[in-house]
Amino acid sequence: MTTNPTIDPNDPALRSWVPGANDPAGDFPIQNLPYGIVEGAVAVRIGERVLPLGEALRAGLFSEELASEEFLAESLDAPFLNLVAELPRSVRALLRSELAGLFAEGSSARARVEPLLRDAADAVAELPFAIGDYTDFYASLHHATNVGSMFRPTNPLLPNWKHVPIGYHGRASSIVVSGTPVVRPCGQTVASDDGPPSFGPSKLLDYELEVGFFVGEGNELGSRIDVREAWRHIFGFCLVNDWSARDVQKWEYQPLGPFLAKNFATTVSAWVVTAEALEPFLVAGPMRGPDDPQTLPYLADPDGRNVDITLEVFISSARMRAEGIAPTLISRGSFKDMFWTPAQMLAHHASNGCNMAAGDLLASGTVSGPEKESRGCLLERTWRGTEPLTLGDGAERRFLQDGDEVLIKGFCEREGRPRIGFGSCSGVVLPAR
């Protein structure tokens, strides 16, 4: 057993001996250390390498204090991150600190760590959590206003919107990891507002750029999560694409909200960036204007903070990929522009006594900013298809075509700190079956 010095993994001066970890344009510096699942067990990503944590434990790389923690061994060998998310925060903090110690430049453990590393290019990262429940919010004021104004020009924002974080229960079974192809859904659509409907492949397939977060410590059925404590119940964050069939959605969404228009597939990025790694990138929020209503006390968070994550969406057609044409940037925005914070979404979800569990996924809803270029879905970006975009091969897009790949990227940047990235969240559209 080893006794490792305590290291602050968020120290911006830390550098690593692992290949790629000090690349200023990379996503995975030593200050990130996101968790994922590789070869059916828990792993951590750094630079261009992946370390399986169960193997690291058996190789005696962790301190006696950490290695003797109850449930540590079984949580690191599990095929999902749920048990890791259930570990006490203090144990997770120690794990992260000791990992930073192993990877830090000058680490005496380097010779014992190096043989265990996998090349990230060969290590296929799997679905990170066994997701028990999935809820999708609608927390961007810009998105809600844009979409509302298309369908209700005189009354874009419903009276509840600034009082209650609106959401719907999504489908956990169809959540897939980045890189999984998505089959174009079939469904009921109408040619005019009143029908009659026909059944067939969706013609208005869209993506939604979102940020998701996984619950760590949950709450008992019948109890609540205080909004001031809610951040500490979040294990980590990922990128989310909430694929959406707009023509199906339009016909089915009233009166109970989205159903089959959304639950055919949801893509998540593979590496879960811990809430701790994001703490240097928290910013004041959410911004409420002088005319906005007061937040009800149970949602009022004096520390109310958003995370400044730059988010980008790219599209490449099958032809572009075949001809080596770079993906076309469709939008760029920031998660800091959300009206409701992750803590408010989680506290609201549990405010009726609904029990949240480790590995539950909550997604933000489409992240749209104030500018046209920061609108987070094609519905808004092409304004219902009336303002088509031009891809790198000259082809026009109103909605997604078969063979299109949607690629979402996210990263945090701040002066004087290494950039923290999320890797990518991608999927190719396959023809309807």
Q: Would you tell me which residues interact with Mn ion (CB under 5 A)?
A: 136, 208, 242, 365
Nearer to Mn ion, 238 or 277 (CB): 238
CA distance 189 to 185: 12
What DSSP string describes 44-109? EEETTEEEEHHHHHHTT-S-HHHHTSTTHHHHHHSSSSHHHHHS-HHHHHHHHHHHHHHHBTT-TT
- CB-based contacts of 385-388 (< 8 A; 24+ apart in sequence): 385/204
Enumerate the H helices of 281-383 as residue ranges: 318-322, 342-349, 378-381
Closer CB to Mn ion, 120 or 204, in the complex? 204
For residues 167 and 359, which CB has a smaller minimum distance to Mn ion in the complex?
Answer: 167
CB of 128 to Mn ion, least distance (A): 19
Which residue sits closest to Mn ion, CB atoms considered? 242
Among 142, 143, 233, 349, the active-site one is: 143
**CA distance readout (Å), 88 to 93, 123, 233:** 9, 28, 10
Least distance to Mn ion from the beta carbon of 258, Å?
Answer: 8
Residue type, 265: A
> Between residues 27 and 136, which has the closer beta carbon with respect to Mn ion?
136
143: annotated active-site residue: yes
Give strand ranges (E) for 233-339: 234-241, 244-245, 266-268, 273-274, 282-284, 305-307, 310-316, 328-334
Q: Give yes or no for a contact between 55 and 77, defined as CB atoms under 8 angstroms apart.
A: no
Within 13 A of 24's CA, how many CA atoms are on the CB side?
5
Nearer to Mn ion, 44 or 240 (CB): 240
* Least distance from Mn ion to the Cβ atom of residue 324, Å: 32
CB 267 within 8 A of CB 176: yes
Decide if 74 contacts 82 (C-beta within 8 A).
Answer: no
CB of 364 to Mn ion, least distance (A): 8
Shortest Cβ distance from residue 266 to Mn ion (Å)? 8
Contact 17, 110 (CB under 8 A): yes
Nearest distance, CB of residue 209 and Mn ion, angstroms: 9
Residue 368 in contact with residue 380, Cβ under 8 Å?
A: yes
Please say which residue, 75 or 241, places its beta carbon nearer to Mn ion: 241
- Catalytic (active-site) positions: 143
